[in-house]
Structure 1
Amino acid sequence: MPPRNDHELARDFAESAGALLVQVRGRTFADASARKGAGDAESHRFLSERLGELCPDDAVLSEEGADDAARLDADRVWIVDPLDGTREFSEPYRTDWAVHVALWERGELAAGAVAIPAEGLTLHTGEAPALPAAVDAPVRLAVSRSRPPALVQDLAAQLGGELVPMGSAGVKAMAVVRGQADAYVHGGGQYEWDSAAPVAVARAAGLHTSRLDGTPLRYNQPDPWLPDLLICRPELADRLLAAIAEMPREAAPSRPSHGGAH
């Protein structure tokens, strides 16, 4: 039976692209760069074709596609990251990479799915994940395993918290949804495709989502660059926002050519 609604479409797109990426990952490549390139290209091609077939009237904003200004006048825009965490994807046996598929509709995120294909897991807004109970322990902050930002290290020190290293942005956000971390704080800048689907799923699970100053996250903007992001358990939002407000302002982050800052 074909998917019946936008939530199921998002789930189906993300799961199917993830299954394709698992196949791509199993091939033999000359080096990690070639594996990354093949993953990005084939997942993007697959999602573009499926969206064109099933949602021909909707616009698309994808990390791997050319940005078409027509999306700004569209009522519905799919915001897609065909492969989030290319470094992790290219490394054998790592599971912390993802596929993001979100639908923006008339000003709001309306549906979303984050697939973690190496775990055989997809979290989506059609079946909102149940947020695990809070644990009586130091605040756990999901952070990049390769380049933990000073902001999050300083925040952990201020709160007496712990850093939980992992790969892609989607995996970090889903770690909060799954109860593996308490917050994902990112001040280094991202593109909309890095966070749209994770934010949609996090909201469905009842998590707090905002900019680091507490203002709303906006999607399908003329400039798809988002300077910062907070996803956290709702009972921690005020504490984290207050602590972040007291910290020194960092210089505006430089933009990568693609959404690689996680």
Structure 2
Amino acid sequence: MSEISSRAQQLEAFDRLLTIMDELREQCPWDQKQTIESLRHLTIEETFELSDAIIDNDLEEIKKELGDILLHIVFYARIGSEKKAFDIKTVIDSLCEKLIRRHPHIYGDTKAEDEEAVKQNWEKIKLKEKGNKSVLGGVPRSLPALIKAMRIQEKARGVGFDWEEKHQVWEKVEEEMQEFKAEFNAVDEGAIDKEKATGEFGDLLFSLINYARFIDINPEEALEKTNKKFIHRFQYLEEEARKSGKKIEEMSLSEMDVYWNEAKKK
């Protein structure tokens, strides 16, 4: 894209999308059949596809995936209008009003000198708006566990419940590691208490996520990058084994390590 579109062009494009959505809903058999419930799993899939594009820093793919998600938003709004519950205008109006309410340092008299103050104001206002009895009440139940841990910790921090220094957080990681090691020593081949081991391992993961958050590392993004790195190296190993006429399942670990180490240099 050589230049940014004008506001008039952006509004014209959005109007075109709304028109196409109306036409599809009225004329296309597949679009006519869809419901809010049937779109749900597709929306989740599109969100993960956007996440992949962001991890890959593929701006062209990000543009495409944002379009897919925008289509879903417009689709939900169209269905909402059919139910006389909401339409795209009321969705946008509600969002605008929320943004104004939650940025009193921009649209009101509240002071917020830095990002942390903005986050704390946001969480306090959100808690009051939703009427939750708990600060953590707004964390979606269906979030993946790793992301949920991050959001729980962020929300607790929003009301001042957090460590003060990063060395304190790391000490907690080491404490949890020692507890896990003491209970489930890798050298001990005896049977373990699976339920207890699961609990201790969860504590260890939670503390590591906490430390990552404290030093401004997104643990979900970090793990996904490692997943991608492992996939790349393992697929290189598979391809090189095929070229050598070998079956990977029949290779020794030392043979595999040769290709694995080559992959690390790629």
Question: What TM-score, normalized to structure 2?
Answer: 0.29
Question: What TM-score, normalized to structure 1?
Answer: 0.29
**Which structure would you say has the larger Rg?**
2
Q: Which has the higher strand share?
A: 1
